[in-house]
Amino acid sequence: MRTFTGKLAIWLLTGATLLQLGLGLLSEYNGRQQDQSEYMALRKSLAHRLELALPHGVWQLDEPYLRQLIDAELAWSTVEAIRIQGDADLNIGRIRDGHAIRDMTPADMPQADDRLTLAITYQGREELAKATVYLSQESLQAKEQQRRLEILLQIVLLDVSLWLLLRHAVRRHLLVPLDTLRQGLDMVHARRIPDASELNTGAHGKEFTPLLHCVQRLTEQRRLDLSAVHRAEAIAQEEKHRAEQAYQQLALVQQTLEESENLVALGRLGADVAHEINTPIGVTLNTASSLVNTTHYLSESLSAGTIKKSEFLDYLAHTEESCQLLLSNAERAADLVHSFRQLAQDRTGETRRQFQLTAYLEEIVRNLKPHRESANLDIELHGELDVLMDSYPSALFQVVSQLLENAMIHAFDPGQRGRIRLESELLDERHVRLRVSDTGKGIAPENLDKLFEPFFTTRGGQEHRGLGLYLAGNKVRQPLGGALTVASQPGKGTTFTLDLPCHAPP
């Protein structure tokens, strides 16, 4: 199943099947233990009754009495036959033959799962005879088989019910809203602006309402852009002789081009995200498929009654490994989605205020020192005193923290000692410069131009997504209004230079 519904159904049905199977096996184990306990209690009770009742009949050689006593015990389904052998050629036996009970012949050898041998004594004297009871556990095996069939029936009923409910829920709460979104985007692509009634935002759940609102905002922006272009064309045609109006028209066209470039960049970023997220999703799908095949094989073995303990233990180990692999790749995919959301955040969420630069940098360094990557590193802070900033401290915290963490992770090998230096200086009354330098191994020249590109990293296989410096560069430009550069030589360390205005642009 390659559809989303099929994949989701496989996940849920597999989990429900495993859960029901585990509970069923636990119930079956408890039932088997209880049956065994009842069987042992019956065996003990039978032995006690025979020890009390048989001595008198054997002493008196009362064969009718002994046959009547044996027939009474053969009423229990677990008792197949009873034979009494003793002195004076005493040899009395009764055996179950279908639904009837007959005398045993010397050649009769009952097929029994268990035997109970009792020595018959009378009033504490010598042994008079020996009684052998042949017991069968066929009824216990039948009950065990019945319990297994009930477990399989419960699993089938649960899976069918979950599949029907899931199919209805996905169709109603996922496919229908997505189809509405697709129709709205198709209208935008066809330059037809859908209205609110066509999108029908109130008919879907809260999860899709923001997406539908985004489509509405996109259509509204498209309407505004088209109107702006039409107005600009009208102004250019009617008032070409006015230089001021021509300048305004040029500025409007430039703004439109910049917005288009931003949309192209966002599209490239979305393509990169899709490429990066494809790997963990692919691993997740392959692992889930392998787990389904293994579960199907185990279910067939269980139905056939040929399952082995070693196969079940291998299945448990495989399931645990698969779950760990599914969890790690799902977490990686979630991290990528979270990073993409952070890229798209608007700077209006930043809080602007005044703060002392040196004190704030000290707080950043203090928060980073407990990290295990900084255990063998000396982080030094040198800066101008009393530099008052009117800017966005949250954005500055993210940029400086990212530069310091980048040095701790990439500039030094694990356990290597080194030094990281954070400096600040006042360039003039309105600008300040920050430097983050290290004594590490430096950056290869061919990688310098790629540092601020999204998803570029030299440690792609070590849980690094390659978005840190890209995000830092965006934060420096907006909302801090500065510039970020880098200089490095292999073996001689790296220096990041951050030039910022003391008063961030509005």
In CATH, what number is assigned to the domain containing residue 484?
3.30.565.10
Residue ranges of the alpha helices (H) in 344-453? Answer: 357-368, 393-410
Range with top average pLDDT, 47-51, 138-142, 200-204, 467-471: 47-51
Query: Is residue 165 in some structural domain?
Result: no
Decide which of 141, 172, 198 is a domain's last residue. 141
The candidate with the shortest Cα–Cα distance to 364, out of 331, 416, 399, is 399
Question: Distance from first CA to last CA of the chain, Å, rounded?
Answer: 52
Query: Is residue 358 in some structural domain?
Result: yes
Averaged pLDDT for residues 232-241: 80
Is the model's pLDDT at 4 over the cut of 70? no
Is the model's pLDDT at 14 over the cut of 90? no
According to DSSP, the residues that pair with 101 across neighbouring strands are: 96
Decide which of 122, 141, 160 is a domain's last residue. 141
Measured distance CA(399)–CA(360) in Å, rounded: 13
Q: Both tokens of residue 125?
A: 């004297």
Q: Model confidence over 148-176: pLDDT tens digits? A: 888 888 888 888 888 888 878 777 777 77
Give the CATH number for residue 67.
3.30.450
pTM of the model: 0.36
Query: Is residue 436 in some structural domain?
Result: yes
What pLDDT shows up at residue 435?
Answer: 93
The candidate with the shortest Cα–Cα distance to 13, out of 178, 172, 167, 175, is 167
Count other C-beta atoms under 10 Å from residue 451's C-beta.
Answer: 22
Contact 471, 481 (CB under 8 A): no
Query: Is residue 81 in some structural domain?
Result: yes
DSSP 171-220: IIIIIHHHHHHHHHHHHHHTT----HHHHTGGGS-TTTHHHHHHHHHHHH
Q: Both tokens of residue 92?
A: 């009395």
**Three-state SS at 375:** coil
Decide which of 141, 160, 184 is a domain's last residue. 141
Query: Is residue 154 in some structural domain?
Result: no
The candidate with the shortest Cα–Cα distance to 323, out of 297, 279, 290, is 290
Contact 436, 251 (CB under 8 A): no
The number of folded domains in the chain is 2
Query: Is residue 375 in some structural domain?
Result: yes
Give the pLDDT band (50/70/90) at residue 486. Answer: very high
Give the pLDDT band (50/70/90) at residue 129. Answer: confident
Range with top average pLDDT, 16-20, 115-119, 484-488: 484-488
Query: Is residue 227 in some structural domain?
Result: no
Averaged pLDDT for residues 310-334: 82
Do the strands 377-383 and 418-428 form a parallel or antiparallel pair, or are they unpaired?
parallel
Q: Both tokens of residue 56?
A: 């008198």
Measured distance CA(421)–CA(399) in Å, rounded: 15
Query: Is residue 493 in some structural domain?
Result: yes
Q: Model confidence over 346-397: pLDDT tens digits? A: 334 467 889 899 888 888 887 666 555 556 788 888 887 778 999 988 888 8
Residue 479 domain boundaries: 350-501
